[in-house]
Chains A and B, each alone.
Chain A
Amino acid sequence: MEHLELFFKSIFIDNMVFATFLGMCSYLAVSKKVSTAVGLGAAVIFVLAITVPLNWLLDQYILQPGALSWLGDEYAAYDLSFLSFIMFIATIATMVQLVEIVVEKFSPSLYNSLGIFLPLIAVNCAILGGSLFMQSREIPTLGLSAVYGVGSGIGWFLAILAIAAIREKIRYSSVPPALRGLGITFIITGLMAIGFMSFGGMLTGGDEEAKSEEKTAATEVIKEDVKSDTEVKTNLDVAENTNK
């Protein structure tokens, strides 16, 4: 149940592109055709599914404060968390290279469809972002981190597939000349992100959402005396931010 919840949460509510803007560069650059978008999306799912659990292990057994205690008591006081950026990015770059070599050797057909995208992925912020969010959200188990990796990959895949399909059709519409290409893509993505915000209510059964609703309800009660809508609005935003 926990796994399923995190899975849907990472696909829809915390969608990488629409909620956190990760991997926007390749999202904008490689979304002109559906077929290439599918290739890149699949590669992102693949790499995220491998690197997030791997970085979870690194984080748990090497980087966290006190993580080295399995080596002996004298190591228990070490805190290597300042190294996490460099460790994560090194893992990602090596894994991408390794995956490329293995795929090329064992499945040339998969290599032909994924291959050209793999080098691009090492510097895709969605991949590093996946690992960093995994760290900052303190995902508790290896299984959950794998679910989180696959889920965010699928979310990214959905986003790039949707925008590629829209961009293929938009060629037939009369967009203002100055807005053509990049500009209209930005605005469409914004509108899609507004749409995706409605998924926010999907998991209201969970503890987190319930808590935030209580909080906002409490602020509303207090603010009713002051009778100021604006204040409630800002409080809502603050509550939302802290909840994040």
Chain B
Amino acid sequence: MAKDSKLILDPLADNNPITIQVLGICSALAITAELEASIVMSISVLFVLGVGNVVISLMRNIIPSKIRIIVQLIVVATLVIIVDLILKAFAYELSKTLSVFVGLIITNCIIMGRFEAFALGNGPWRSFLDGIGNALGYGIILVIVGFFRELLGSGTLLGFPVLGDPIEKTGLYALGYENNGFMLLSPMALIVVGIIIWVQRTRNKDLIED
């Protein structure tokens, strides 16, 4: 049982898919200008990785190893189509913001990486836990980046103004605070992730590369 909980807890910090394993960066950076988009993206990946890991794990003994990449891609693509259609039906505006990045979950290296490294060699239940753990580890970074970019960039969280009104000059703006529009531009995502990595490795010296 302790082993099972390790499967979920490890990827959250010391074996985080983004900051340590360097997987799934593309989508992590492109859609984090708003917290809401980050959360939806994390949930989508959670669904695809959790279900996909179980499916691959169930099929692991009948997939010929030579064509496994194509089989894996087809499984992911099917799941992603489901996610895409659900988003289009229930959150159309958001699916416009995410645009092609929902489709790019297919080539999100976290998913292929976990299929290859874990689901092909383990039973369905453990694969499910591993999928959930890694997707949560991915989600945590997305939410942190999204939180800071939206807060500092537009002064809102999930669309609600938390720092006061920039036009009426209430709240923090009364003191002369200004939004940093630069945070909304794409390069800042890279720098924010860089800083997260810096903080994490300063706290845990074992992770430092030489």
Residues of chain A having any CB pair with chain B under 8 Å:
18-25, 28-29, 82-86, 89-90, 93-94, 119, 122-125, 127-129, 132-133, 136, 176-187, 189-191, 193-194, 197, 226, 228-231, 233-234, 236-237
Residue ID in chain B nearest A244 by CB atoms: B99
Q: Which of B84, B167, B187, B201 contacts A193 (CB 8 A)?
A: B187
Q: Do the beta carbons of A187 and B104 come within 8 Å of each other?
A: no
A171 to chain B, nearest CB (A): 11
B162 within 8 A of A: no
B179 engages A230 (CB within 8 Å): yes
- For the complex, what is the distance from the CA of A182 to the CA of B154, rounded to whole Å? 28
Q: Is the CB of A89 within 8 A of B73?
A: yes
- CA of A128 to CA of B201, assembled, Å: 33
20 pairs of residues in contact across A and B, judged by CB atoms under 8 Å? A23-B26, A25-B23, A86-B77, A89-B73, A128-B106, A178-B208, A179-B201, A180-B209, A183-B197, A184-B194, A186-B197, A187-B191, A187-B195, A190-B194, A193-B190, A194-B187, A228-B166, A233-B179, A233-B181, A234-B179
Contact with A along B189-208 (1 / 0, CB 8 A): 11101110110011001001
- For residue B109, CB closer than 8 A to chain A, the reply is yes
CB atoms of A124 and B107 under 8 A apart: yes
A236 touches B181 (CB 8 A): yes
Compute how far the CA of A145 lies from the CA of B137 in the bound complex, rounded to whole angstroms. 37
If A25-B26, A28-B25, A122-B69 are given as contacts, then 9 extra A-B residue pairs at C-beta distance below 8 Å, sorted by A number, are A21-B189, A22-B104, A83-B81, A90-B74, A90-B77, A125-B109, A177-B208, A178-B208, A231-B166
CB of B22 within 8 A of CB of A25, answer: yes
Interface string of B10-25 (1 = CB under 8 A from A): 0000000001001111
Shortest C-beta distance, B39 to chain A (Å), equals: 19
Q: Closest residue of chain B to A229, judged by CB?
A: B178
Residue of A at shortest CB range from B76?
Answer: A89
Which of B107, B108, B198 gathers most chain A CB within 10 Å?
Answer: B107
In the complex, the answer to whether B106 meets A85 with C-beta atoms within 8 Å is yes
Task: Convert B79-115 into 0s and 1s, putting 1 for each residue whose CB lies closer than 8 angstroms to a CB of A.
Answer: 0110011000000000000011001101111001000
A138 to chain B, nearest CB (A): 13
Residues of A with C-beta under 8 A to B22: 25, 28-29, 182
Whether B181 lies near A93 (C-beta < 8 A) is no
Q: What B residues does A229 contact at CB under 8 A?
A: 178
The answer to the question of B7 belonging to the interface, with a C-beta cut-off of 8 Å to chain A, is no
Establish whether residues A230 and B166, one from each chain, have CB atoms under 8 Å apart when the complex forms.
yes
**A190 and B187 form a contact (CB under 8 A):** yes
Residue of A18, A93, A183 touching B70 (CB-CB under 8 A): A93
Q: Are B69 and A24 in contact, with the CB atoms below 8 A?
A: no
The reply to whether the CB of B29 lies closer than 8 angstroms to some CB of chain A is yes
Interface residues of B toward A: which range? 35 or more
Would you call A187 and B194 a contact (CB within 8 A)?
A: yes
> In the complex, what distance in Å separates the CA atom of A18 from the CA atom of B185?
11
User: Which residues from chain B sit less than 8 Å from chain A, CB to CB?
Assistant: 19, 22-27, 29-30, 69-70, 73-74, 77-78, 80-81, 84-85, 99-100, 103-104, 106-109, 112, 154, 166-167, 173, 178-179, 181, 184-191, 193-195, 197-198, 201-202, 205, 208-210
Which B residues are CB-close (under 8 A) to A193? Answer: 186-187, 190
Closest chain B residue to A133, Cβ basis: B100
Distance between Cα atoms of A75 and B115 in the complex (Å): 38
Question: Which chain B residues border A119 with CB–CB below 8 Å?
Answer: 69
Q: Which residues of chain A have C-beta atoms less than 8 A from B210's C-beta?
A: 180
| Chain A residue at smallest Cβ distance from B178 | A230
In chain B, what residue has the closest Cβ to A97? B70
User: Contacts A82-B85, A85-B84, A180-B210 given: A123-B190 contact, CB under 8 Å?
Assistant: no
Q: Is the CB of A85 within 8 A of B81?
A: yes
**Of the residues A94, A132, A183, contact of B201 by C-beta under 8 Å:** A183
Are the C-beta atoms of A89 and B186 separated by less than 8 Å?
no
- Given contacts A24-B25, A125-B26, whether A93 and B73 have CB atoms under 8 Å apart is yes
Closest chain A CB from B177 CB (angstroms): 10
